[in-house]
Structure 1
């Protein structure tokens, strides 16, 4: 098994490979409802897939994917984004691919002037990247609150209720 990969933007024609990868990556996850691949498709269809990165092996096989979509805070567009989902080929998980995707995505958004990124997931995992709870910034869903973290990239963290792109439901 090769361990090398490169992070690149999603290219036209990658859609089916990304769909299949996301489905495989989330299939064994007990917290998954099995529709993460449809979420990526819907974000793309709606024009809300603002940043879509893949990890690809030298031969071109896609082994990882990360999606970023716009959010609103108190119904205002504020140049903040939701990071979800993060997907890695099951046989390649725990090999640094997810870390590389997250790091590259955050850096691209920071360089583009984004103000921040939110995520819902394992707090211990995402806090390694600087994600934290901000007093006054909460997700719309009470279910997400214990797992909700954010990172300010430019400027001060906002206060208010964060709402995901419509594809999230």
Structure 2
């Protein structure tokens, strides 16, 4: 897909990753996650494993003046045995660009693209942040190792049910304590 200029800092572009972006993506994810108490420190490695397994449904970068300042990954997931969900994560923005709309623009583009192919989107994250995009916790929705209040879903279609265990790529096992 072509690069797309969107709201956020002036000149911000959201586009698919290219091979030359990979070191900057890893750096951006690592720097951003250092600021989150709940981060495991494995997030960049998870994206690398998803990429190596060709399991990235989306790998979007936010660039400003050709510099990567944000990244969003999405991969396939199932919810309650129902395939066709997109798992979003990680979403990372370089610390100098926090609270300037970069993450919101990445999320808006990811949701726009996922709506075309998925039943809905699911993620593990802060309800205080992700509720603004329409994500919510649902009774009976869960993911192994996570409290139910941080397992959030956004069904795209009326028949999509956000109930059951979220199943995702094995790369996310890096995020779990031994």
TM over 0.5: yes
Once the two structures are TM-superposed, the CA of residue 74 in structure 1 deviates from its matched residue by 3.8
Match of 1:81 among 77, 86, 110: 86
Runs of 4+ aligned residues of structure 1 deviating over 6 Å after TM superposition are none
Once the two structures are TM-superposed, the CA of residue 47 in structure 1 deviates from its matched residue by 1.6
Match of 1:44 among 25, 33, 51: 51
What secondary structure does 1:32 align onto? Answer: coil
* Deviation by residue 1:90-144 (Cα, 9 ceiling, x = unmatched): 011000000000011000111x221110111110111111011223332233x24
Match of 2:22 among 15, 20, 24: 15
> Is the CA contact (8 Å cut-off) linking 1:134 and 1:157 kept in structure 2?
no
Q: Scaled by the length of structure 2, what TM-score is found?
A: 0.85
Match of 2:128 among 99, 124, 130: 124
> Structure 1 stretches of 5 or more lacking a match?
none
> Is the CA contact (8 Å cut-off) linking 1:80 and 1:116 kept in structure 2?
yes
Q: Scaled by the length of structure 1, what TM-score is found?
A: 0.90
> Structure 2 stretches of 5 or more lacking a match?
1-8, 174-178
What secondary structure does 1:14 align onto? Answer: helix
